[in-house]
Amino acid sequence: MLHMTKEKIHIENLEVSIGKEHILKNINCTIPEKKITVILGPSGCGKTTLLKSMNRLTDLYSDVKINGKIELNGKNIYNGISDINDLRRKMGLLSQRPAPLPMNIFNNVAYGLKISGRRKKRYLRLRVEHYLKQANLWDEVKDRLYSPANSLSIGQQQRLCLARGLAVDPELILADEPTSSLDPISSQAIENRLMELKNHYTIIVVTHALRQARRIADYIIFLYLGEIIEQCEASEFFNNPKNEITKAYLRGSFN
Protein backbone atom coordinates (compact mmCIF):
# COMPACT_ATOMS: atom_id res chain seq x y z
CA MET A 1 0.00 0.00 0.00
CA LEU A 2 2.67 2.42 1.02
CA HIS A 3 4.73 2.01 -2.12
CA MET A 4 1.78 3.23 -4.17
CA THR A 5 1.58 6.60 -2.51
CA LYS A 6 3.78 9.59 -3.13
CA GLU A 7 6.10 10.70 -0.39
CA LYS A 8 5.24 14.12 0.98
CA ILE A 9 8.10 14.61 3.38
CA HIS A 10 11.41 12.93 3.32
CA ILE A 11 13.85 13.23 6.18
CA GLU A 12 17.50 12.25 5.95
CA ASN A 13 20.10 12.14 8.71
CA LEU A 14 18.31 14.70 10.82
CA GLU A 15 20.16 15.64 14.00
CA VAL A 16 18.71 18.13 16.45
CA SER A 17 20.41 19.32 19.58
CA ILE A 18 19.26 21.92 22.04
CA GLY A 19 22.10 23.28 24.11
CA LYS A 20 24.24 20.30 25.00
CA GLU A 21 21.37 17.85 24.73
CA HIS A 22 21.19 15.67 21.65
CA ILE A 23 17.42 15.43 21.16
CA LEU A 24 16.99 13.72 17.79
CA LYS A 25 19.57 11.27 16.49
CA ASN A 26 20.01 10.24 12.90
CA ILE A 27 16.37 10.44 11.88
CA ASN A 28 15.56 8.94 8.50
CA CYS A 29 11.94 8.64 7.55
CA THR A 30 9.27 9.25 5.00
CA ILE A 31 5.81 10.69 5.39
CA PRO A 32 3.35 9.37 2.78
CA GLU A 33 0.97 11.78 1.09
CA LYS A 34 -2.71 11.83 2.07
CA LYS A 35 -2.34 9.33 4.88
CA ILE A 36 -2.32 9.65 8.61
CA THR A 37 1.14 9.09 9.96
CA VAL A 38 1.29 8.70 13.70
CA ILE A 39 4.46 9.52 15.59
CA LEU A 40 4.41 7.33 18.64
CA GLY A 41 6.70 7.15 21.63
CA PRO A 42 7.06 7.68 25.33
CA SER A 43 7.14 11.13 26.88
CA GLY A 44 10.27 13.15 26.22
CA CYS A 45 11.50 11.01 23.31
CA GLY A 46 11.43 13.96 20.90
CA LYS A 47 8.08 13.66 19.14
CA THR A 48 7.22 17.32 19.42
CA THR A 49 10.71 18.32 18.39
CA LEU A 50 10.48 16.14 15.27
CA LEU A 51 7.11 17.62 14.39
CA LYS A 52 8.24 21.19 14.88
CA SER A 53 11.41 20.71 12.89
CA MET A 54 9.15 20.04 9.90
CA ASN A 55 7.72 23.55 9.85
CA ARG A 56 10.81 25.10 11.35
CA LEU A 57 9.18 26.14 14.60
CA THR A 58 12.32 24.70 16.15
CA ASP A 59 14.03 27.85 14.84
CA LEU A 60 12.40 29.66 17.75
CA TYR A 61 14.19 27.59 20.37
CA SER A 62 17.25 29.29 21.71
CA ASP A 63 20.51 27.48 21.25
CA VAL A 64 19.26 24.89 18.77
CA LYS A 65 21.43 23.12 16.20
CA ILE A 66 19.90 21.25 13.30
CA ASN A 67 21.76 19.14 10.77
CA GLY A 68 20.50 16.94 8.00
CA LYS A 69 17.82 17.28 5.40
CA ILE A 70 14.05 17.60 5.46
CA GLU A 71 12.45 17.65 2.04
CA LEU A 72 8.93 18.86 1.43
CA ASN A 73 7.75 17.92 -2.07
CA GLY A 74 11.37 17.20 -2.87
CA LYS A 75 12.74 20.57 -1.71
CA ASN A 76 15.01 20.88 1.31
CA ILE A 77 13.33 23.22 3.77
CA TYR A 78 16.54 24.00 5.61
CA ASN A 79 18.43 25.03 2.54
CA GLY A 80 17.16 26.90 -0.39
CA ILE A 81 13.71 27.99 0.65
CA SER A 82 13.36 31.70 0.94
CA ASP A 83 10.00 32.12 2.58
CA ILE A 84 9.64 30.47 5.95
CA ASN A 85 6.20 32.00 6.47
CA ASP A 86 5.01 30.34 3.31
CA LEU A 87 6.50 27.03 4.41
CA ARG A 88 4.68 27.27 7.72
CA ARG A 89 1.44 28.17 6.04
CA LYS A 90 1.61 24.88 4.16
CA MET A 91 1.44 23.04 7.46
CA GLY A 92 -1.56 23.57 9.67
CA LEU A 93 -0.67 23.15 13.31
CA LEU A 94 -2.84 21.75 16.07
CA SER A 95 -1.26 21.94 19.46
CA GLN A 96 -1.81 20.01 22.64
CA ARG A 97 -3.78 22.77 24.30
CA PRO A 98 -5.92 24.78 21.92
CA ALA A 99 -4.51 28.28 21.49
CA PRO A 100 -7.28 30.44 20.03
CA LEU A 101 -6.18 33.88 18.89
CA PRO A 102 -7.34 36.74 21.14
CA MET A 103 -10.12 37.66 18.74
CA ASN A 104 -13.68 36.62 18.05
CA ILE A 105 -14.60 33.29 16.49
CA PHE A 106 -15.05 34.67 13.00
CA ASN A 107 -11.70 36.43 12.99
CA ASN A 108 -9.90 33.38 14.30
CA VAL A 109 -10.78 31.59 11.10
CA ALA A 110 -10.48 34.65 8.88
CA TYR A 111 -7.13 35.77 10.28
CA GLY A 112 -4.95 33.61 8.04
CA LEU A 113 -6.88 34.75 5.00
CA LYS A 114 -6.69 38.39 6.01
CA ILE A 115 -2.94 38.44 6.47
CA SER A 116 -2.52 36.88 3.06
CA GLY A 117 -4.39 39.83 1.63
CA ARG A 118 -7.89 38.48 1.16
CA ARG A 119 -10.15 40.99 2.84
CA LYS A 120 -13.44 41.05 0.92
CA LYS A 121 -16.21 40.65 3.48
CA ARG A 122 -18.39 38.37 1.41
CA TYR A 123 -15.56 36.10 0.47
CA LEU A 124 -14.40 35.86 4.08
CA ARG A 125 -17.88 35.02 5.30
CA LEU A 126 -18.22 32.18 2.82
CA ARG A 127 -14.79 30.80 3.63
CA VAL A 128 -15.27 31.02 7.37
CA GLU A 129 -18.55 29.16 7.11
CA HIS A 130 -17.00 26.52 4.86
CA TYR A 131 -14.10 25.78 7.20
CA LEU A 132 -16.18 25.86 10.35
CA LYS A 133 -18.38 23.25 8.69
CA GLN A 134 -15.33 21.20 7.80
CA ALA A 135 -14.28 21.27 11.42
CA ASN A 136 -17.78 20.32 12.45
CA LEU A 137 -18.25 23.45 14.51
CA TRP A 138 -20.54 25.58 12.39
CA ASP A 139 -23.84 24.55 13.93
CA GLU A 140 -22.63 25.30 17.42
CA VAL A 141 -21.23 28.75 16.68
CA LYS A 142 -23.21 30.15 13.78
CA ASP A 143 -25.23 32.37 16.12
CA ARG A 144 -22.27 33.69 18.05
CA LEU A 145 -19.59 34.22 15.44
CA TYR A 146 -18.62 37.52 16.99
CA SER A 147 -18.15 36.41 20.57
CA PRO A 148 -14.61 35.92 21.86
CA ALA A 149 -13.04 32.62 20.90
CA ASN A 150 -12.11 31.76 24.46
CA SER A 151 -15.75 31.71 25.47
CA LEU A 152 -15.94 28.34 23.71
CA SER A 153 -15.39 25.06 25.51
CA ILE A 154 -11.95 23.49 25.18
CA GLY A 155 -13.26 20.90 22.74
CA GLN A 156 -14.87 23.59 20.60
CA GLN A 157 -11.71 25.65 20.78
CA GLN A 158 -9.71 22.75 19.40
CA ARG A 159 -12.11 22.39 16.48
CA LEU A 160 -11.87 26.14 15.96
CA CYS A 161 -8.09 25.77 15.79
CA LEU A 162 -8.59 23.05 13.20
CA ALA A 163 -10.86 25.31 11.13
CA ARG A 164 -8.39 28.15 11.47
CA GLY A 165 -5.57 25.92 10.26
CA LEU A 166 -7.58 24.59 7.32
CA ALA A 167 -8.56 28.09 6.26
CA VAL A 168 -5.08 28.89 4.95
CA ASP A 169 -5.30 25.85 2.69
CA PRO A 170 -2.33 23.88 3.98
CA GLU A 171 -0.95 20.73 2.41
CA LEU A 172 -0.24 19.06 5.72
CA ILE A 173 -1.78 19.01 9.15
CA LEU A 174 0.64 18.65 12.03
CA ALA A 175 -1.20 17.67 15.17
CA ASP A 176 0.70 17.42 18.44
CA GLU A 177 -1.38 15.34 20.84
CA PRO A 178 -4.46 17.16 19.59
CA THR A 179 -6.85 15.34 21.88
CA SER A 180 -4.88 15.03 25.09
CA SER A 181 -6.65 17.94 26.78
CA LEU A 182 -10.10 17.01 25.51
CA ASP A 183 -12.96 14.94 26.87
CA PRO A 184 -13.74 11.62 25.09
CA ILE A 185 -16.52 13.03 22.95
CA SER A 186 -14.50 16.00 21.74
CA SER A 187 -11.57 13.67 21.11
CA GLN A 188 -13.77 11.49 19.02
CA ALA A 189 -14.94 14.50 17.04
CA ILE A 190 -11.36 15.52 16.28
CA GLU A 191 -10.36 11.96 15.36
CA ASN A 192 -13.32 11.59 13.01
CA ARG A 193 -12.46 14.87 11.35
CA LEU A 194 -8.87 13.81 10.81
CA MET A 195 -9.99 10.52 9.28
CA GLU A 196 -12.14 12.39 6.78
CA LEU A 197 -9.56 15.05 6.07
CA LYS A 198 -6.89 12.58 5.07
CA ASN A 199 -8.42 12.34 1.63
CA HIS A 200 -7.25 15.88 1.03
CA TYR A 201 -4.36 16.42 3.37
CA THR A 202 -1.25 14.70 4.57
CA ILE A 203 -1.69 14.34 8.29
CA ILE A 204 0.87 13.76 11.00
CA VAL A 205 -0.40 13.07 14.50
CA VAL A 206 1.80 12.88 17.57
CA THR A 207 0.39 10.82 20.37
CA HIS A 208 1.33 8.52 23.15
CA ALA A 209 -2.09 6.95 23.29
CA LEU A 210 -1.72 3.54 21.71
CA ARG A 211 -5.44 3.08 21.27
CA GLN A 212 -5.73 6.31 19.38
CA ALA A 213 -2.87 5.24 17.15
CA ARG A 214 -4.65 1.96 16.47
CA ARG A 215 -7.80 3.77 15.49
CA ILE A 216 -6.42 6.37 13.14
CA ALA A 217 -2.95 5.45 11.92
CA ASP A 218 -2.09 4.33 8.41
CA TYR A 219 1.58 4.51 9.08
CA ILE A 220 3.59 4.58 12.29
CA ILE A 221 6.88 6.11 13.25
CA PHE A 222 8.01 4.85 16.64
CA LEU A 223 10.49 7.07 18.45
CA TYR A 224 12.44 6.11 21.51
CA LEU A 225 15.04 8.33 23.21
CA GLY A 226 15.45 10.43 20.11
CA GLU A 227 15.86 7.59 17.66
CA ILE A 228 13.48 5.93 15.25
CA ILE A 229 13.10 2.35 16.41
CA GLU A 230 10.56 1.27 13.87
CA GLN A 231 8.59 2.75 10.99
CA CYS A 232 6.05 0.81 9.00
CA GLU A 233 2.41 0.33 8.09
CA ALA A 234 0.17 0.50 11.13
CA SER A 235 -1.12 -3.05 10.72
CA GLU A 236 2.42 -4.34 10.53
CA PHE A 237 3.43 -2.34 13.59
CA PHE A 238 0.62 -3.61 15.77
CA ASN A 239 0.39 -7.17 14.54
CA ASN A 240 3.93 -8.02 13.74
CA PRO A 241 6.42 -5.76 15.52
CA LYS A 242 10.04 -6.55 14.81
CA ASN A 243 11.92 -4.72 17.49
CA GLU A 244 12.13 -5.81 21.15
CA ILE A 245 11.59 -2.25 22.39
CA THR A 246 8.49 -1.98 20.23
CA LYS A 247 7.15 -5.21 21.65
CA ALA A 248 7.74 -4.03 25.17
CA TYR A 249 6.06 -0.70 24.37
CA LEU A 250 3.04 -2.43 22.88
CA ARG A 251 2.76 -4.65 25.94
CA GLY A 252 2.57 -1.47 27.96
CA SER A 253 5.78 -2.16 29.83
CA PHE A 254 6.54 1.55 29.74
CA ASN A 255 4.53 4.47 28.62
Partner 1 sequence: MIVTLSLVILTPIVMCICLSVKSSLLFESLPVGKIFFTSAWEPSKGNFGFLPFILSSIFITFLAVLIAGPVCLFSALYLTQYARVRLVRIMQPVIDILAGIPSVVYGVWGIIVIVPFVSNVVAPLFHIQTTGYTLIAGGIVLAVMITPFILNILIEILRTIPSELSEATLSLGATKWEVIKHVIVRKAKPGIVSAFGLGVSRAFGETIAVLMVAGNVAKIPGGLFDPVYPLPALIANNYGEMMSIPLYDSALMMAALILFVSILVFNFFSRISIYHLERNL
Q: Quote the least distance from Cβ 2 to partner 1, whole Å.
A: 27
| 32 beta partners | 7
48 binds Mg ion (CB under 5 A): yes
For ligand ATP, the binding residues in 49-108 under the rule CB under 6 A are 49, 61
188 binds partner 1 (CB under 8 A): no
Residues 6+ apart with CB under 8 A from 107: 101, 114
| C-alpha to C-alpha distance for 201 and 166, rounded to whole angstroms | 10
Amino acid making up residue 189: A
Q: Quote the least distance from Cβ 191 to ligand ATP, whole Å.
A: 18
Contacts 24+ apart (CB under 8 A), 165-168: 165/92, 165/93, 165/94, 165/112, 166/92, 166/131, 166/134, 166/135, 166/197, 167/109, 167/110, 167/112, 167/113, 167/127, 167/128, 167/131, 168/89, 168/92, 168/112, 168/113, 168/116
Residue in 32, 46, 100, 165 binding ligand ATP, rule: CB under 6 A: 46
Residue in 20, 21, 62, 185 binding partner 1, rule: CB under 8 A: 62
Write down the H helix ranges in 55-104.
Answer: 84-89
Tell me which stretch binds partner 1 (CB under 8 A): 9-17, 87-95, 177-185, 229-237: 87-95
Q: Quote the least distance from Cβ 1 to ligand ATP, whole Å.
A: 27
**Count of residues touching partner 1 (by CB under 8 A):** 31
- How far, in Å, are 26, 136, 162, 164 from residue 189 at the CA level? 35, 8, 11, 16
Nearest to 135 by CA among 207, 55, 57, 193: 193
For partner 1, the binding residues in 139-178 under the rule CB under 8 A are 148, 150, 161, 164-165, 168, 174
Residue in 45, 66, 105, 149 binding ligand ATP, rule: CB under 6 A: 45
Pairing of β 36-40 and β 219-224: parallel
Nearest to 55 by CA among 70, 45, 44: 70
Q: Find how far residue 166's CA is from the centre of its chain.
A: 12
**Count of residues touching Mg ion (by CB under 5 A):** 1
Residue in 3, 4, 20, 43 binding ligand ATP, rule: CB under 6 A: 43
Residue in 15, 17, 18, 215 binding ligand ATP, rule: CB under 6 A: 18
Tell me which stretch binds ligand ATP (CB under 6 A): 43-51, 70-78, 110-118, 164-172: 43-51
Query: Which residue, 166 or 174, has its beta carbon nearer to ligand ATP?
Result: 174
Query: Which residue, 48 or 202, has its beta carbon nearer to Mg ion?
Result: 48
* Contact positions vs ligand ATP (CB under 6 A): 18, 23, 41, 43-49, 61, 208
Q: Which residues are at the interface with partner 1 (CB under 8 A)?
A: 52, 55, 57, 60, 62-63, 85-86, 88-89, 91-93, 95-97, 99, 101-103, 111-112, 115-116, 148, 150, 161, 164-165, 168, 174
